[in-house]
A and B are shown apart, each in its own frame.
Chain A
Amino acid sequence: MIEIKNIKKSFGKLSVLTDVSLTVQPHEVVVVLGPSGSGKTTMLRCINFLERADSGKLTVGDMTIDFTKVSKREIHEIRKKVGFVFQNYNLFANKTALQNVMHGLVVVKKMPKAEARKKAEEALAWVKLEDKHDYYPSQLSGGQQQRVGIARAIALEPEVILFDEPTSALDPELIDETLEVMKNVAKRGITMLVVTHELSFAQDIADKVIFMDGGVVVEEGTPDEIFNHPKEERTKQFLARIIATKTLSKKIEG
């Protein structure tokens, strides 16, 4: 389980997260939607301490910390419980696909090499890259790189995996294969907190959808509630805009 409570974050005078709380139950998939600049990335980064929140509380599994007084040790513990899939993959460029997945197992989890290798091979098979073990990131397509990124996260068996727009840097024809892999991850019961603009993914997979704007949660509910019966005006406008862009780009493509 993961819960954030009253998280606040400003960059200088700009308040990016005004007061955000949310909960992801075990095995749940929660999708976060929101316009550009609404603070989605910042929220995910705060959970993993890539950004330091100004205040608020965070619970991951059996551990609760207060952002105002968190120790280095606690940060390290939280990071071990949280996986992160980046928008631009961030694979280790000096490691092969297999090594990318293995490395954390060996260095962080202190797993014997042979066991780590087996685990990494399993994870790569999950994301359908069993034939790409020895490829370096520079030899993989964007979609393949992102799947290695997903394998790297799942191999560590974190309590939750955070996804920050995992498909938005990909060419349209590579988006589907990546979403397919994410659906499989979800079906395995892995807890996921996903920022994405892929409404179909949210519709099919999410247990809960959260709409964020201006550093607050505007509305949350089941996909049906949010997509078919949104209560807030801002939610309606945002959805209308996204659907309009999607239809337009479909028309342009053919």
Chain B
Amino acid sequence: MFSWKYVVDYFPDIFAKFPVTLELVFVPFIISFLLGFAIAIARLKKIPLLEQVLAVYVSYVRCTPVITQMFVVYFGLPILMKQFGVNAYDWNPVIFVFVAYSINISAFLSETIRSSILAVPAGQMEAGYAVGMSGFQTMRDIIVPQALKISLPMLGNMFIGLFQATALAYMVNVIDMVGKARNISTSRGHLLEGYICCAIVFAIISLALEVIFKYVNKRLAFGHQNGYQRVRRRSES
């Protein structure tokens, strides 16, 4: 019999693992952001050979399920590391999730960032040169800020997607909220309640993230929407 009482009972134990979930979100996302950015720039610069290698990397990631990628890393990385004389068999399983998700998200992120950079009108790059700025300075001050603004809704979606994808980490023996729920359920015999408890936490946080991203997206508009109102009000007063 399903009982809300167990949901409430399990909550403290399950929520105690929330920091693990946070770690599984933030570490790969930050690595992916830096890596994805670098991949995007490298592909836009069309560096020979590297360009082809990265294209293969991106399409491999886009064409395989994340769960297979995770298992490939989980079982493959220790074998690879052994070639370098490193014993990865007793590493904390969290590390494999970091690696697998970083690979996955960086590929998607690189595509988003690349298309966002291309979406900024090319004339502004020329205007930067005309003003006397270097290509790097124009990218840094003019193009990239606009590209980030353009990609923000997509970045938000990916962040939320990653947050939810952390629920797969228990499959490689990471004890996050889901892993904990599974352990509790099997030891105490109430299978559903633990997962319901997780579902509630995921739903509330996903919704909160969505609201936050929407707000940030609006605030960052360069003069559109409410930005326009702000300026108008200031000049009227």
Contact = CB atoms under 8 A, between A and B. Distances in A.
Contact of A49 (B124, B129, B222): B129
Interface string A212-228: 00000000000000000
Contact of A92 (B124, B149, B234): B124
Contact of A136 (B126, B127, B134, B227): B227
B136 to A, nearest CB: 11
B224 A94 contact: no
B129 A80 contact: no
A107 B130 contact: no
A87 B231 CA distance: 27
Given A107-B137, A136-B223, A139-B228, A94 B149 contact: yes
Interface stretch (B16-24, B140-148, B178-186): B140-148
The majority secondary structure among interface residues of chain A is loop
Contacts of B224: 136, 138
Given A48-B129, A95-B142, 19 more contacts: A49-B129, A76-B132, A80-B132, A84-B127, A84-B130, A91-B124, A92-B127, A94-B142, A96-B223, A103-B131, A104-B132, A107-B133, A107-B141, A134-B234, A136-B223, A139-B227, A139-B231, A153-B130, A156-B131
Interface of A: 48-50, 76, 79-80, 82-84, 86, 88, 90-96, 103-104, 107-109, 131, 134-139, 152-153, 156
Interface of B: 120-121, 123-124, 126-134, 137, 141-142, 145-146, 149, 222-224, 227-228, 231, 234-235
16 contacts: A83-B130, A84-B127, A91-B127, A93-B124, A93-B222, A94-B146, A94-B149, A103-B141, A107-B141, A109-B132, A131-B235, A134-B231, A134-B234, A135-B231, A138-B222, A152-B131
